[in-house]
Structure 1
Amino acid sequence: MSTVREMLVELTGEPEFAESIGDDAELSASGIDSGDLVRLVLLIEQRTGAEVTTEDMDNLVTIKDYERFVAERGDASAAGSA
């Protein structure tokens, strides 16, 4: 299970729900409310050390978008703190 899907399971408590969302599906149209999206962003910041800006949030729509962000920014943040 991907990092973002694991975070969704943590937020929703429903592994079946997180697994049922397609990589290209819009999270907001998949039953995730705005509060869960904010909590997802906070988890990403906490776990990766990467800051998620308002502009970033505008571009984070699908699981694929979130995964790409975590892969790119998470790696950069880890390298920057080493």
Structure 2
Amino acid sequence: MSTIRELLVELTGTTEYAETIGDDADLAGSGIDSGDLVRLVLLLEQRTGLEITAADMEHLRTIGDYERFVAERSAAGSAGGA
């Protein structure tokens, strides 16, 4: 299970986000409210060490968006630290 899905399950207390929500489904349209999205970002920052700005959040709508963001930022951080 992806980190994003694990965090969504942790936040919501339901496995729906691990089992039935597709990578390209809009999270807000899937029942995640704005408070949960903010908590998701805070948890993600805490667990990964990445910074997610308000401008970044405007482009993060799906599980796939979050996964790509984390992968790209993690790769950029690794390359920049080498």
User: TM-score scaled by structure 1?
Assistant: 0.87
- 1:70 corresponds in structure 2 to 70
Q: What is the number of residues matched between the two proteins?
A: 80
Query: CA-atom RMSD, angstroms?
Result: 1.5
In the alignment, structure 1 segments of 5+ residues that lack a partner are none
State the AA in 1 paired with 2:65: D
- Flag the 1:75–1:69 CA change in 2: closer, same or farther, 3 A: same
- Flag the 1:74–1:44 CA change in 2: closer, same or farther, 3 A: farther
In the alignment, structure 2 segments of 5+ residues that lack a partner are none
- Percent identity, please: 70
- Flag the 1:67–1:33 CA change in 2: closer, same or farther, 3 A: same
User: TM-score scaled by structure 2?
Assistant: 0.87
- 1:6 corresponds in structure 2 to 6
- 1:43 corresponds in structure 2 to 43
Kindly indicate which of the two structures has a greater share of residues assigned to helix: 1
